[in-house]
A and B are shown apart, each in its own frame.
Chain A
Amino acid sequence: MRKKIEEELAKLAFGDLSADEASRLELRTQVDPEAAKTFESYRRMKDELQLLGQDVPEDQLSKERLRQAILTRGLKHSEPAIQRMSWIWMPVAAAFIAFGAFYLKGNFPAGGSTSTVVVDKTTAPEPNWLPEVGVVRPPKNDVFVMPETSRSPVVSSSAPTRVAMGGTRKSTRMSGSASRLANDPELPSGAAGLDMFDRSPMSASEPVESPLNFGKSAEPAPAPTIIVIQTETDASTGTLKATEVGDTANVLVGG
């Protein structure tokens, strides 16, 4: 039987059809035994569902939901809702989660073990650092030799420049300049501490990942302030000209 006819029979059984359509389908059920059988099954189904629905709140028992459930799942027995008993399991689940959290963090409630787990980052092994077998090869065995380039290491410095003179900068000699500088986000943290301007912007405690993953990450590197010091003298200052590079892509560096 076609799906459409079956749907219409279901609608007929649940009283969703107009009078004309209902009479037309009823005529068909009289001449078509299969249609009659299907209609009868849906009608029985409706009666059973109405009986089952006596315990269900009225607002949850709509014809639309019942019909959809029947059309999609039929009359298969469904598992009882575990949510009815969920309140029994909630304390157990909470206790289990709490135990798991303490266990994973290496902390235990007072009264238990008082040991403190200290990870020595300098000596702790890096499990991610195991070299991949078959990948590590000495350079001498490598047969892929890239052609030597003869490009000059000196590149033109037509990078965008930042001009920081004139009215764009206010005098740091004015009152309150110290506090302003202290709040300057460009200043390194702990600006009053030792080695504040000689330390590398890269922290030693920066998390390290496997070298096998290096080069794959799409995470862009933080853009440090890069100053290109030119060879020509700036006539206005008498010293060498500096330009601040905004985009360091394609800038050649030596090291």
Chain B
Amino acid sequence: MFWSAASLYLAVTIGGGTDLSEREMRAWKKVQPSIVSIIEGRTVSGSAALISADGLFITHASAVSGAEAMGRTSTGRIVTLKKLATDEPTQFVLLKADIWMEDAPALTIAPSVQEKSILAITPTGPARAEIVKAAYGIVNPSRKVVSVNEIQLENNMRSLSGVLLVNLNGQLVGALNAALGMSAEQTVQKTRADLNNRGAAGLGGGGILPSQPPTLQYGPGILTAAYSVGTKVLSRVVAGFLSSSHEVRHPAIGVFCRDAIPGGAVIETVTKDSMAEKAGLKSGDIILSINNRQVRNQIEFAQIMADHEIGEVLTIWIQRSGLRQQVKVEVGSQP
């Protein structure tokens, strides 16, 4: 009797998954009409957010495997979504609904992150998440460095693909670009929990056995650290998607660098026809500073580059063959 009551308590209190606060629910209700669930096969592979009233959606590449996908609106209508463009450095995808009749507002992009609490629009619905810290991400294969936010959320759902992130004001703040992998021990734990859940379901009622920790349930469950690009990069992506060419242009001068000893970023490769090549930068040059900001390694070089916009002229001090010299380089774009 006691264990049954305990099981029921656990199932209700930490197994629901929809225990959002009133404010979180308001945010979800606000954005829900502008979200479509992407359906691939018989499963929901992610979500897409409306960024233009004429039916343009943004999602992450992990939600769409082919050239098109089916989408289900909040009203239950099914639309066909065609892939128009992909931004390789961020893996954001632009989708276009063939027929868009919904009267839903386009989501706006948050100018910045003002609160840690956010909502993750997962394939199984909204879930609470938090932004815990800022970091820098190197995106393969472009090796582009972008500012990212580390997100913590419970990985109770089976998939985090195509998860959109909105703040509690109903503004888009990002999408889960990647998640930290699981260790072997955690994989075993997850497998055991899956088996337990299956066994519990077989008992009829989906209850949780008292001796089995609710590893994959809401509450003190498994936390996943995932990453989303910052709102500044997201705004750039959306602006590029909404342009006539649907092309996103990220600032770059066209070099690949490693760290130099004792300091600086040594240029490994100069992209052909890039701004760096036009300015005379060569492989082997060591970048020491950019616009009066010291470059102590290649990460700092990329961080400084991320703070500049296309068209700006950078004053770069380099060291070449032991001699230091100044080079002016205009910031170009990395399509």
Checking A164, A165, A252 against B298 with a beta-carbon cut-off of 8 angstroms, the contacting residue is: A252
**DSSP class of A's interface residues: helix, strand, loop or mixed?**
loop
With A229-B137, A229-B140 known as contacts, the answer to whether A243 contacts B180 (CB < 8 A) is yes
CB distance from A5 to the nearest CB of B (A): 59
In whole angstroms, what is the CA distance A144 to B302 when docked? 26
Among B255, B281, B292, B295, point to the contact of A139 (Cβ < 8 A): B281
Expressed in whole angstroms, the minimum distance between the Cβ of B152 and any Cβ of chain A is: 6
Q: Are A173 and B219 in contact (CB under 8 A)?
A: yes
Nearest-neighbour CB distance to chain A for B191, whole angstroms, equals: 10
Residues of A within 8 A of B219 (CB): 171, 173
Closest partner residue, chain B, to A126 (CB atom)? B292
A228 within 8 A of B: yes
A215 touches B62 (CB 8 A): no
Alpha-carbon separation in the docked complex, A219 to B115 (Å): 35
> Are the C-beta atoms of A239 and B262 separated by less than 8 Å?
no
From residue B287, how far is it (CB to closest CB) to chain A in Å? 9
Size range of the chain A interface in the assembly: 35 or more
**Is there a chain A Cβ closer than 8 Å to B99's Cβ?**
no
A50 interface contact, C-beta 8 A:
no
Cross-chain contact of A181 among B116, B292, B295 (Cβ < 8 A):
B116
User: For chain B, which range describes its interface: under 10, 10 to 19, 20 to 34, or 35 or more residues?
Assistant: 35 or more
Assess A174 versus B323: contact at CB under 8 Å? Given A181-B130, A248-B297, A254-B334.
Answer: no
User: What residues of B have a CB within 8 angstroms of the CB of A99 in the complex?
Assistant: none
Instruction: Give the residues in chain A near B132, CB-CB below 8 Å.
Output: 172, 181, 184, 186-187
A190 to B328, CA, bound (A): 35
Contact flags B187-198 to A (C-beta < 8 A → 1, else 0): 101100000000
- A136 within 8 Å of B (CB atoms): yes
Assess whether A3 is interfacial by the CB under 8 Å rule. no
Question: A228, B187: Cβ atoms under 8 Å?
Answer: no
How many Å lie between the Cα of A164 and that of B150 in the bound state? Answer: 11
Check if B183 sits within 8 Å of A166, measured CB to CB. yes
B325 touches A139 (CB 8 A): yes
From A157, A165, A188, A221, B296 is in contact (CB under 8 Å) with A221
If A135-B324, A197-B134 touch, whether A215 touches B262 (CB-CB below 8 Å) is yes
Q: Which of A28-36, A54-62, A146-154 binds B?
A: A146-154
| Contact A251-B163, Cβ < 8 Å, known A171-B154, A172-B152, A229-B177 | no
In the complex, chain B residues whose CB is within 8 Å of the CB of A255: 144-145, 252-253, 255-257, 301-302, 305-306
Beyond contacts A169-B225, A241-B179: 6 other A-B pairs, Cβ-Cβ < 8 A, are A165-B225, A219-B296, A229-B137, A229-B148, A237-B226, A254-B145
Binding site for B on A (CB under 8 A): 126, 129, 131-132, 135-140, 142, 144-149, 151, 153-155, 157, 161-166, 169-174, 177-178, 181, 184, 186-188, 191-202, 206, 208-209, 211-212, 214-221, 224-231, 233-234, 236-245, 248-255
10 inter-chain pairs at a CB distance below 8 angstroms, sorted by A residue, are A166-B189, A173-B219, A181-B132, A224-B303, A226-B136, A229-B137, A229-B178, A242-B177, A252-B256, A253-B143
